[in-house]
Amino acid sequence: MKIKIGFGVDVHQLREGYDLFIGGVQLDADFGAVGHSDADALLHAICDAMLGALNLRDIGFHFSDTDPKYKGIDSKILLKDTYALIKEKGFQIGNLDCTVILENPKVNPHIEKMQKVIAEILETEVENISIKATTHEKVDSFGRSEAIKCYAVCLLEKH
């Protein structure tokens, strides 16, 4: 078996008047994430981790943030398309480990739903999708809820 590891990180500004999508799930908040797509920082970090594992550049290389085709796009579609590139190379998901940095709202109540959504798209078991959350202890822009940051590490396997 061949294994490959990848790492991804993504940041989006938070602002009133936008929706907040994390891991393919919409959270209730009086602010949301700003982006060319639906600005789902967790799904973007996961895409980058998967692409990085196979040295396939990054999400912006495949889905340009200046292309009108991707304006407001549901990032679940980008995750599905990224997974197709990985499958094309003969790989499947070993496991993912992710961390969401967000001052509020709480992510924990939504993690099971996020795991289900992501596992279904990536054709893997929910046990292979780890999602954790932490605040930024009120420190800097993340601590002032001005931005969200997500990290993802991904192991890919080829049997």
Any contact of residue 107 with ligand L45E5XJ5 (CB under 6 A)? yes
The annotation status of 159 as a binding-site residue, yes or no, is no
The annotation status of 64 as a binding-site residue, yes or no, is yes
**Whole-number minimum distance, CB 123 to ligand L45E5XJ5, in Å?**
27
Any contact of residue 23 with ligand CDI (CB under 6 A)? no
Pick between residue 60 and residue 143 the one whose CB is nearest to ligand CDI.
60
**Whole-number minimum distance, CB 52 to ligand L45E5XJ5, in Å?**
25
Any contact of residue 98 with ligand L45E5XJ5 (CB under 6 A)? no
Q: What is the DSSP string of the chain?
A: -EEEEEEEEEEEEEETTS-EEETTEEEP-S-EE-SSSS--HHHHHHHHHHHHHTT---HHHHS-TT-GGGTT--HHHHHHHHHHHHHHTT-EEEEEEEEEE-SSS-SGGGHHHHHHHHHHHTTS-GGGEEEEEE--TT-HHHHTTSEEEEEEEEEEEE-
Any contact of residue 133 with ligand L45E5XJ5 (CB under 6 A)? yes
Any contact of residue 143 with ligand CDI (CB under 6 A)? no
**Whole-number minimum distance, CB 150 to ligand CDI, in Å?**
10
Any contact of residue 102 with ligand L45E5XJ5 (CB under 6 A)? yes
Count of residues engaged in binding ligand CDI, rule: CB under 6 A: 13
Phi-psi region of 123 (alpha: psi -120 to 50; beta: other; left: phi over 0): left
**Whole-number minimum distance, CB 41 to ligand L45E5XJ5, in Å?**
12
First to last CA, the chain: 5
